[in-house]
């Protein structure tokens, strides 16, 4: 049973298929019995162009008020000078930890159908090359600054190891390129080693990012918790999603000290918007992470199990994963599986 507490959550439906998958996730969360006061906030390409801001103040105000957001895909207008909505959110709210669980779902046809993949990727979310510090020295010569700090590196390492300890995970692998970037990635590694020393019960390994990428596609079942700086984390988390069927079935979370935003990491898919065939799995699994964050673990487990049951039966899955069901049919099947 869920608790009797009420929670306030900012709901950002987004663009394209965003409103469809956001509504599906909302229905699924409500069906768990957890009492959510949803606070819908519109943020899409039209609003960004109209307000002239990637992140209008009313969105920030809502997230600061509720402390928790569930976000669909938001399209940043292309070639218009606007910063990425996701980057702006992470910087403005200091959402320093990007968390991406990557798990095999039953019935998904991949090259690793006979292998159980179950890893969690922790990506530092605020600095590295994504600091956006670029300069054109002379015409056609550009420099970009890779910023790595002890504060951010210690913080993400502590988050990853504390998760591993709480979740009884066995191994943390730090991924780097310190053989070339000896100062920047070297600092990241020193911080990871310092934190690892506090958790002797957890095996600690280090892999150079190119070797790690090869190992992921050859032996993905050998990975447990991955710990990465921002750029490598962005690339590796999408690579890992491809191992289990793609971004449409993988959740994401952006965690800070005061706020947390849970999001489907796929795009807005405008080509299928309004057709009723969008897959809400990533949004629902992000809701599972949100429920865990809200300390509604029983409801999180129930929703996770229901999604996996629908995939195992395969009668009500969407076309992108080999089925024929629409968004609403899939959602109804998940809700029925929780009954």
Cβ(264)–Cβ(251) below 8 Å: yes
Cα distance between residue 200 and residue 238, in whole Å = 30
Q: Which of 159, 177, 224, 311 is catalytic?
A: 177
Q: Any catalytic annotation for residue 130?
A: yes
Q: Which of 15, 159, 234, 311 is catalytic?
A: 234
Cα distance between residue 263 and residue 285, in whole Å = 9
Among residues 64, 9, 18, the alpha carbon closest in space to that of 44 is found at 18
Q: Any catalytic annotation for residue 311?
A: no
C-alpha distances out from residue 57 to 48, 94, 263, Å? 11, 16, 19
Q: Any catalytic annotation for residue 210?
A: yes
Question: Six-digit token pair at 323?
Answer: 């089925």
Q: Which of 46, 182, 210, 275 is catalytic?
A: 210
Cβ(254)–Cβ(90) below 8 Å: yes
Question: Six-digit token pair at 110?
Answer: 């991949």
Cα distance between residue 155 and residue 125, in whole Å = 11
Q: Which of 15, 91, 130, 159 is catalytic?
A: 130
Residues 247, 123, 223: CA angle, nearest 5 degrees: 75
Residues 38, 39, 44: CA angle, nearest 5 degrees: 120
Cα distance between residue 140 and residue 279, in whole Å = 43
Q: Any catalytic annotation for residue 324?
A: no
Cβ(94)–Cβ(124) below 8 Å: no
Active site residues: 130, 177, 210, 234
């Amino acid at each position: 049973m869920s608790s009797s507490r009420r929670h306030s959550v900012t709901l950002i439906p987004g663009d394209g298929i965003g409103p469809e998958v956001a509504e599906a996730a909302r229905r699924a969360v409500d069906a768990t019995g957890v009492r959510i006061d949803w606070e819908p906030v519109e943020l899409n390409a039209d609003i960004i162009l109209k307000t002239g801001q990637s992140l209008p103040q009313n969105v920030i105000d809502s997230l600061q008020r509720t402390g928790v957001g569930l976000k669909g895909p938001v399209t940043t207008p292309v070639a218009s000078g606007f910063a990425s909505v996701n980057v702006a959110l992470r910087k403005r709210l200091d959402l320093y930890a990007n968390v991406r669980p990557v798990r095999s779902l039953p019935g998904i046809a991949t090259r690793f159908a006979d292998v159980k993949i179950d890893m969690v990727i922790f990506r530092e979310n605020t600095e590295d090359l994504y600091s956006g510090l670029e300069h054109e020295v002379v015409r056609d010569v550009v420099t970009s600054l890779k910023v790595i700090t002890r504060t951010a590196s210690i913080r993400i390492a502590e988050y990853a190891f504390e998760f591993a300890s709480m979740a009884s995970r066995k191994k943390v692998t730090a991924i780097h390129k310190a053989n070339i970037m000896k100062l920047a990635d070297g600092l990241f590694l020193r911080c990871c080693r310092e934190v690892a020393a506090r958790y002797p019960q957890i095996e600690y390994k280090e892999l150079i990012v190119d070797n790690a990428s090869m190992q992921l596609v050859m032996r993905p079942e050998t990975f447990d918790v991955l710990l990465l700086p921002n750029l490598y984390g962005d690339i590796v988390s999408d690579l890992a999603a491809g191992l289990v069927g793609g971004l449409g079935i993988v959740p994401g979370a952006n965690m800070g000290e005061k706020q947390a935003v849970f999001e489907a990491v796929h795009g807005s898919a405008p080509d299928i918007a309004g057709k009723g065939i969008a897959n809400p799995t990533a949004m629902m699994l992000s809701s599972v992470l949100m429920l865990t964050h809200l300390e509604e673990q029983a409801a999180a487990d129930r929703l996770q199990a229901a999604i996996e049951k629908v995939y195992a039966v395969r009668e009500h899955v969407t076309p992108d994963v080999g089925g024929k069901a629409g968004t609403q049919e899939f959602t109804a099947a998940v809700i029925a599986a929780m009954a």
